[in-house]
Amino acid sequence: MPTMQSTPYRWPWNGLFDMRDFALVVTSAMVANQDSGRITQNGRNQVRDFANTVRQAGALVVEVACSDPRITGVPWRTNDKFALSAGERFTDADIHIQSCGIDAFYSSPLEDVLNRSHRRLIGLCGTWFETSVHSTMREANDRGMECVAFHDISFCLNPQSKKNTISQIEMSGGIFGAVSTSTDFSKTFCNC
Amino acid sequence: MLQQVQANPYNWPFDGEIDPSKTALMLIDWQADFCGPNGYVDAMGYDISLTRAGIEPTKRVLAAARKLGMKIIFTREGHRPDLSDLPANKRWRSKQIGAEIGSEGPLGRILVRGEKGWDIIPELAPMPGEVIIDKPGKGSFYATDLDIILRVAGITHLIFTGITTDVCVHTTMREANDRGYECLILSDCTGATDKGNHEAALKMVTMQGGVFGAVSDSESLLKVLEN
């Protein structure tokens, strides 16, 4: 199998891509009332279509509804200005799960789902790029999984931070993995 | 009890005063490999003055925290000498950039437990009885006993210093925040291999009303701790 175009190295690192080892993890983070409008219907459609494409090609698609520690358990730091509500569902995933943190692994069955289906190659996308996508990528990477973030379908809370959100992944030779686009992935691994 | 610290986007902690008996000072990865001459970060070709910038302010915060009897927690990233806890992709990436983890360098084997480069720099050396957490990854909670140590000690609030801001400090702060700890990061007691990424990491903390906690600096904190 070929590797795909990505930075700072061609993904995956060892050139051993197999769709049966791949999972797409879509995170749906909480939305503060002032965030609304940062994601377009077109963006949502892109995520849904990409999830359908990779699933038909044999990937596992997991969508995780992420939470925020400020609303689980005791009332935390929220106030009216930053009232948080659950994000809208993106996909018809194979599995929908819920995490108790901003990170999709925290207090969720995600690690078991990935381990039991032997998925060690992980693609990430969804909301928000700086929060749940990043936290989840960091945790997957610490677990030895080989990760790629799709920056065209990972949506920023603050569009101005996109450049650094990507750069933080690429430093030190790809400290959390690689960065690419869903189109590059589809072209290389799904023949479309 | 101590008063709140001036911080962004809210004065810290959210729940009122600072209780030193429930607050821990986190010193993340102040290791020679990350900020010493000839260490791992130096070998990758990055400017270590950026990762060394936080040493002096952190020394002052550490002295004040010790005086108040706060819990002091050090962390170290490193691998077993046989590299059995080193993921193959992590090893490959470090080799690609010319500083392969486990290979011999001027400070011993890079990021290997027990080697000179892996040790905490003398300026911020732990004192007997202070906690040291050894971790194989970026996050200090994954595959370590940090959480149980904090729970047993009754710690609910964490103040972060360390390197690098966007990698190990941020990952650990994200993990701590998810676990319900109330977190503060000190802008001048941290540093990264890229200045823009350091600043972006601090800004990210403040999104959505403080999604990972709050940001302050050593001067604002010391004003409260030394008062």
User: Catalytic pick from B135, B138, B166, B183?
Assistant: B135
Mean pLDDT along residues B139-149: 98
Chain pair A-B, CB pairs under 8 angstroms: 129
* Domain formed by B20-225, architecture: 3-Layer(aba) Sandwich (3.40)
Mean pLDDT along residues B161-175: 98
**Catalytic residue check, B95:** no
**Catalytic residue check, B35:** no
Q: Answer whether A188's CB lies under 8 Å from A4's CB.
A: yes
Three-state SS sequence of chain A: CCCECCECCCECCCCCCCHHHEEEEEEECCEEHHHCCCCCHHHHHHHHHHHHHHHHCCCEEEEEECCCCCCCCCCCCCCHHHCEECCCCCCCCCEEEECCCCCCCCCCCHHHHHHHCCCCEEEEEEECHHHHHHHHHHHHHHCCCEEEEEEEEEECCCHHHHHHHHHHHHHHHHCCCEEECHHHHHHHHCCC
What is the residue extent of each domain of chain B?
20-225
User: Is the pLDDT assigned to residue A175 strictly greater than 60?
Assistant: yes
* Domain covering A19-189, topology: Rossmann fold (3.40.50)
Contacts of A9 in chain B (CB under 8 A): 93, 96
A171 with B166: Cβ contact below 8 A:
yes
Per-residue pLDDT band for A38 (boundaries 50, 70, 90) equals: confident
B139 with A139: Cβ contact below 8 A:
yes
CA nearest to A64, candidates A92, A21, A27 = A27
User: Which pLDDT tens digit goes with each residue over B29-88?
Assistant: 999 999 999 999 998 899 999 999 999 999 999 999 999 999 999 999 999 999 999 999
**Catalytic residue check, B168:** yes
Nearest-CA distance A74 → chain B (Å) = 9
Mean pLDDT along residues A49-74: 90
A101 with B166: Cβ contact below 8 A:
no
Q: Which residue of A has its CA nearest to B213?
A: A77
Nearest-CA distance B14 → chain A (Å) = 6
Q: Name the E strands within chain B.
A: 23-28, 71-77, 104-105, 108-109, 131-135, 157-163, 182-191, 214-216
B94 with A174: Cβ contact below 8 A:
no
CA distance A46 to A44: 5
ipTM, two decimals, is 0.97
A168 with B197: Cβ contact below 8 A:
yes
The average confidence (pLDDT) of chain B is 97
Q: Answer whether A99's CB lies under 8 Å from A105's CB.
A: yes
Mean pLDDT along residues B207-216: 94
3-state secondary structure of B118: coil
What is the residue extent of each domain of chain A?
19-189
Nearest-CA distance B119 → chain A (Å) = 20
Best mutation site among A168, A169, A170 for testing chain B: the one with the most B CBs within 10 Å?
A: A168
B201 with A168: Cβ contact below 8 A:
yes
CA distance A53 to A188: 12
CA nearest to A102, candidates A155, A64, A140, A74 = A64
User: Which pLDDT tens digit goes with each residue over A109-159?
Assistant: 999 999 999 999 999 999 999 999 999 999 999 999 999 999 999 999 999
pLDDT score, position B194: 96
Q: What is the DSSP letter of B110?
A: T
CA distance A50 to A35: 24
Tell me how crowded residue A73 is: count the other CB atoms within 10 A of its CB.
9
pLDDT score, position A170: 98
Mean pLDDT along residues A26-48: 86
Of A68, A164, A172, the CB nearest to B44: A172
